[in-house]
Amino acid sequence: MRDQRRAQHPQPGPPLPWQMRWFSVAAAVFVAVIATLTAILGSSAVSQHGKEMASDIAMIPMPAFAAICGRWRARRTTGRTQHAWYLVSLMAVSLTVAGLAAYFNRHLASAPASPLVADVFYLAAFFPAAVALLLFPQLQRPGSERVRTLLGALVVGGSVLFVGRAMSLQLLFPVVDESSLAHSTYVAYLIADVVLTSLALIMLVRLGPDTKLHHVLLASGFVAFGVADVLHAHDAALGQYEAGSLLDLGWIVGYALFTLAALAPQERGDAVPTPRTTQERYTGVSSLIVYVPMLAAVAVACARPSPVTDPLLVVSGLGILVLFGVRQALLSMDNSRLRNDLQCQVAELETRSSELRRLAMQNERIVQSVVDGVFGVDAQGRVTFVNARAAEMLGYSQAALLQITEDQIFSELTKDPAAVDRLVPTALLSGTVVPSVATEFVRRDGSVFPVELAVGPIIEAGVITGAVVVFRDVSARRAVEKMKNEFVSVVSHELRTPLTSIRGSLGLISAGLGGTLTTHGQRMVSIALESSERLTRLIEDMLDLERMESGALTMSFCSCELSALVDAAIGDVRALALEHDVVIDALEISGSVRADPDRVVQTLTNLLGNAIKFSPAGGRITISAVRTRDMMEIAVSDEGRGIPPDKIARIFERFEQVDSSDSRELGGTGLGLTISRDIVRMHGGRIWAVSELGHGSTFRFTLPISTAAPVGSRSDSALLVDSKETM
C-alpha cells in the first residue's frame, strides 16, 4: 500500500542547487556575526558604549534584511503561503521601525518617553506575526480551524499569566513600583510572546510530516524572540536592563532565524497527502498544548481556594474560561459537521456497494448466459471463473474446471497444445488482445470439436491482473462452409460443359454459319455471347477461389524476370487497351522475383484490366517496380475516377464494387481483386490500394526477390511484347 501511495503521489524533489548555496552562505554569515557579537557583548575589555553601538549595528539592519527576504520569498510562493510571507515581511518592517525608534530614544532624545514609542511598534508586530502563523498550511482546514488555533493560543497565554500571577513568579510579575501604563506594557509583552510562541508550536504540530525547514526556523525565531522579550520585561521592570548586554542576542538570533527561514531551500514537486490517522495523531498533540496549561491554571486556582482579590487574576481567569468555552463550542460544531459528513459518506458507500453488487450479479448472469465458452485466469494462470456454457461444451462440471490451471486446460483439453499454449502468457505480458486462433478441443468423452479461441487481458488501474479466454464451437459453421464449397465446386464443374457448348454455338451463329440474321437478331446473339463469356469467367474465378481456400491450388515457384512477367500481362490486355483507347507505359523494370509466373501474370492482368476499364479514353496507365529491402514492390497506376475512402478497404472482398452498375456496364465479376489478394498472400507479399477521387488510383503489391538465375516466364512467349512499346 505504501508503494502504491508513493506511485500515485510522487515525493517532492530535492531543492535547487542555487537555493542550497544561498542558504549555506547566509547561515555561515549569521553564525559568524552572532559569534562575533557574543564575544563583544561578553567581553569586559569593551566599554559599555561600544557594546551598545555593536548591538545597535546588528539590531537595526537585521530586521530590515528579514523584511526584504520575506518579501522575496512571498513573490515565489502562491495562495495562503504567499500571504503569510508578506505578513512576516510586514512584521519585520514594524520591528525595524521599532529598532530605529529605540535607538533615537536612547541616544538622541533628551527626555525618553515611558513607555517608549518603540514599544508601540514592537507590540504592533504581534498582529501580522499571529495572522502569518495562522495562514501557513495545516493538516486540517475547516472553516473554524484557524479561529480555534488562535483561541487555543490565547488560552495558553492566559493560563501562563494566571499561573505566574497566582504563584507570584518574580520572572513574570516582578514586584516594583511602576506606572499603570508601564505595568500594562510589559504585561502586553508577556501576553504577545506567550501567544506567538504557542501559535508557533501549534503550527509545527499541525503541519505534521509536511513540516519543512523554513517552518522550523520561523517557529524557532518566535521562541527566541519571546524568551528575549520576557527577560527584557523582567529586567526593565526591576530597572536592571542595560542596552548592549548578552540579552540582546535573543533578538538578534530571532532576526537571523526569520531571515534564514525566508532563504531556506524549498522542495520541488507535490507534497504527499497526509493519511487521516496521522492527521488525528498530530491534532491530538496540538490539543495537549492547549489543555496542559489550562489544567495547570485550574489546578493552581483549586490549590488556592482563598477569595481572589487580584483584579488581574479575576479578569484573566474569566477570559480563559470564555475563550476555552468558545473554542470547545467551535470544536463541537466541527465534530458535528464531520459526523454528518461521515454519515453521508457511509450512506453513499452503502448505496454504491449495493449498486456494485447488483452490477456484479448482472454481469455474472450475462456471462453465464452467453453462447460462447468463457473462463478467466489470474496473473499466475489459475482458473478463477468458468461459465456454464464452457463446462457444457467440454463435458465437465464448473467446479471441476475451477480446480485446474490454464496450462492443464490447453494441455489436456486441446488437441494441439503447442498452437495455443502461449496465448495466455502473451496476453498477460503484453497487455494486448490476442486475435482469434483456430484449434480443436477435446471433450471429456474423447470427441473433438473445432473452436475459435481468443484471449484478452484484464487490466485494473493500469496493472494486468489476469486474462479472459473466450472460445466458440464452430462445428456448424465449418459444416456449412464445407457444404458451400462442395456446392460451388460441383455447380461450377457441372456448368462448365454446357456453358462451353452454349458459347461455341452462339459463336457459330454470330459468325453466320447458322444463316443470315437480322440486325436485331445479331444484336441479341452478341449480348447472349457476351453474357456466356462473363459467366464462364465467373465460374473460373469461383473455382480458383475454391481451390485456394481448400488448399488444392498448387504453386510452382521459380526465379522469374519481372520485366518478362509485366510484358506477358501487357500482351494479354493489349486488345482491351486498344478497344478503350488507353495507353500502357511500362517504366524501367529490372530484377528477379521468386514466384509462380502464371499466377503473377494473372494478378497483373486483373489489375491492368481494372485500370483499363476505369480509365477515360486517351488515358494512360503506368507500371513501375522498386526494390524495398528483400521485396519487390510493383505499382499499377491509372488516371480514372478513383475510389471513395469508405470503400477502399473493402474492394478486395468478394463481389465488392465501387458502383453496383460496374459489373453490368464493364463486365466485371467482382472476384478479380479477391483472387489477386489471395495470390499475393500465397507468395508471402501484401497488396493495397491508394486512391484520390477524380485523380486515379494506384494498386501496389509486393513479391519476394530472388537471387537465383531467372527462367522463362510462360510457355506462350509469343505473346510477349517489348516493354518499351507504347500502346
Q: Write out the three cell numbers for 122.
A: 514592537
pLDDT for the residue 206? 67
Amino acid at 598: D
Q: What share of the chain is helix, strand, coil (3-state, %, to 5)?
A: 60, 15, 25
* Helical H segments across 239-310, by residue range: 248-263, 276-303
CA pair distance 657, 662, nearest whole angstrom: 7
In the predicted structure, residue 269 carries a pLDDT above the cut 60: no
Query: 558-561 and 463-473: which strand pairing?
Result: unpaired
Q: Please tell me the least confidently modeled range out of 417-431, 541-555, 573-587.
A: 541-555
Q: Average of pLDDT values for 307-326? A: 70
**Strands (E) located in 318-382:** 373-378
Residue recorded with cell 519476394? 704
In the predicted structure, residue 9 carries a pLDDT above the cut 50: no
In the predicted structure, residue 720 carries a pLDDT above the cut 60: no
> What sign has the CA pseudo-torsion 635, 638, 644, 650?
negative
φ/ψ of residue 480, rounded to 5: -65, -40
Quick: pLDDT tens for 651-695.
887 766 655 444 445 555 677 788 888 889 888 899 999 888 878
> What sign has the CA pseudo-torsion 160, 161, 167, 169?
positive
Return the bridge partners of 386, or none.
375
pLDDT for the residue 112? 54
Phi/psi zone of residue 473: left (φ > 0), alpha (ψ -120 to 50 degrees), beta? Answer: beta
Quick: pLDDT tens for 594-642.
999 988 998 998 899 888 888 888 889 999 999 888 899 999 999 888 8
pLDDT for the residue 110? 55
Q: pLDDT band at residue 719, thresholds of 50, 70 and 90?
A: very low
φ/ψ of residue 384, rounded to 5: -115, -15
Let me know: does 558 contact 597? Beta carbons within 8 Å.
yes
Query: 620-628 and 583-586: which strand pairing?
Result: parallel
> What sign has the CA pseudo-torsion 166, 168, 174, 180?
positive
Q: Average of pLDDT values for 439-465? A: 85
Q: How far, rounded to the nearest angstrom, does the alpha carbon of residue 562 sit from its chain's CA centroid?
A: 51
Let me know: does 304 contact 170? Beta carbons within 8 Å.
no
DSSP 170: T
Q: pLDDT band at residue 211, thresholds of 50, 70 and 90?
A: low
CA pair distance 500, 503, nearest whole angstrom: 5
pLDDT for the residue 699? 92
In the predicted structure, residue 437 carries a pLDDT above the cut 90: no
Of 144, 148, 150, 147, nearest to 130 by C-alpha is 150
Strands lying side by side in the sheet with 448-460: 383-386, 373-378, 463-473, 448-460, 434-442
- Integer distance in angstroms from the first to the last C-alpha of the chain? 77
Compute the C-alpha angle 621/623/626, nearest 5°: 150
In the predicted structure, residue 143 carries a pLDDT above the cut 60: no
Percentage of residues of the chain with pLDDT beyond 90: 6
Q: Average of pLDDT values for 78-88? A: 86
In the predicted structure, residue 252 carries a pLDDT above the cut 80: yes
Q: What's the Cα-to-Cα distance from 123 to each of 97, 98, 193, 200, 217, rounded to whole Å?
A: 12, 9, 9, 17, 21
> For residue 238, what are the contacts with CB-CB under 8 A and spacing of at least 6?
174, 176
Residue recorded with cell 549595528? 57
Q: Write out the three cell numbers for 639.
A: 488516371
CA pair distance 122, 115, nearest whole angstrom: 12
Of 180, 188, 54, nearest to 119 by C-alpha is 188
Q: Write out the three cell numbers for 414.
A: 486441446
pLDDT for the residue 659? 56
Q: Quick one: 146 exposed, middle or buried, by C-beta within 10 A (0-12, 13-18, 19+)?
A: middle
Of 634, 628, 638, nearest to 566 by C-alpha is 634
More confident residue, 287 or 28: 28
Q: Quick one: 113 exposed, middle or buried, by C-beta within 10 A (0-12, 13-18, 19+)?
A: exposed
CA pair distance 555, 553, nearest whole angstrom: 7
- Per the prediction, the chain carries an average pLDDT of 76
pLDDT for the residue 297? 72
Quick: pLDDT tens for 86-109.
998 999 898 888 888 877 777 776
pLDDT for the residue 243? 74
Domain ranges for the chain, please list them. 2-337, 371-473, 480-550, 558-719
pLDDT for the residue 393? 85
> For residue 725, what are the contacts with CB-CB under 8 A and spacing of at least 6?
none
Q: Average of pLDDT values for 478-490? A: 74
Helix, coil or strand: residue 515:
coil
Q: Write out the three cell numbers for 348.
A: 453513499
Helix, coil or strand: residue 167:
coil
Q: Average of pLDDT values for 173-178? A: 52
> What sign has the CA pseudo-torsion 643, 649, 652, 656?
negative
Let me know: does 636 contact 612? Beta carbons within 8 Å.
no
CA pair distance 313, 319, nearest whole angstrom: 10
Residue 658 neighbours by CB distance under 10 Å: 19
Matching fold, domains 371-473 and 558-719: no
* Helical H segments across 395-518, by residue range: 398-401, 406-412, 423-430, 475-510
CATH topology for the 371-473 domain? Beta-Lactamase (3.30.450)
* Helical H segments across 140-240, by residue range: 145-166, 180-207, 213-238
pLDDT for the residue 724? 34
Q: Please tell me the least confidently modeled range out of 105-119, 510-524, 580-594, 605-619.
A: 105-119
Amino acid at 269: G
> What sign has the CA pseudo-torsion 257, 263, 265, 266?
positive
CA pair distance 509, 722, nearest whole angstrom: 37
More confident residue, 206 or 341: 341
Let me know: does 257 contact 88? Beta carbons within 8 Å.
no
* Helical H segments across 511-596, by residue range: 519-550, 562-572, 574-579
The helix or strand, by DSSP H or E, that contains position 418, with its residue range, turns out to be: none
Burial letters 14-52, b for 16+ CB under 10 A, else e: eeeeebeeebeebbeebeeeeeebeebbeeeeeeeeebb
DSSP 405: B
Let me know: does 529 contact 506? Beta carbons within 8 Å.
yes
Q: What's the Cα-to-Cα distance from 665 to each of 496, 531, 648, 657, rounded to whole Å?
A: 24, 12, 21, 12
Pick the CATH number of 558-719 from 3.20.20.30, 1.10.1060.10, 3.30.565.10, 3.40.50.300: 3.30.565.10
More confident residue, 600 or 309: 600
In the predicted structure, residue 715 carries a pLDDT above the cut 90: no
Compute the C-alpha angle 153/195/183, nearest 5°: 135
Quick: pLDDT tens for 533-565.
777 777 777 777 777 766 666 778 899 999 999
Residue recorded with cell 521468386? 594
Half-sphere exposure (Cβ direction) of 293: Cα atoms closer than 13 Å: 24
Q: Please tell me the least confidently modeled range out of 151-155, 189-193, 230-234, 549-553.
A: 549-553
Percentage of residues of the chain with pLDDT beyond 70: 77
pLDDT for the residue 634? 92
The helix or strand, by DSSP H or E, that contains position 704, with its residue range, turns out to be: strand 697-704
In the predicted structure, residue 435 carries a pLDDT above the cut 50: yes
Q: Is the peptide bond before 417 cis (omega within 30 degrees of 0)?
A: no
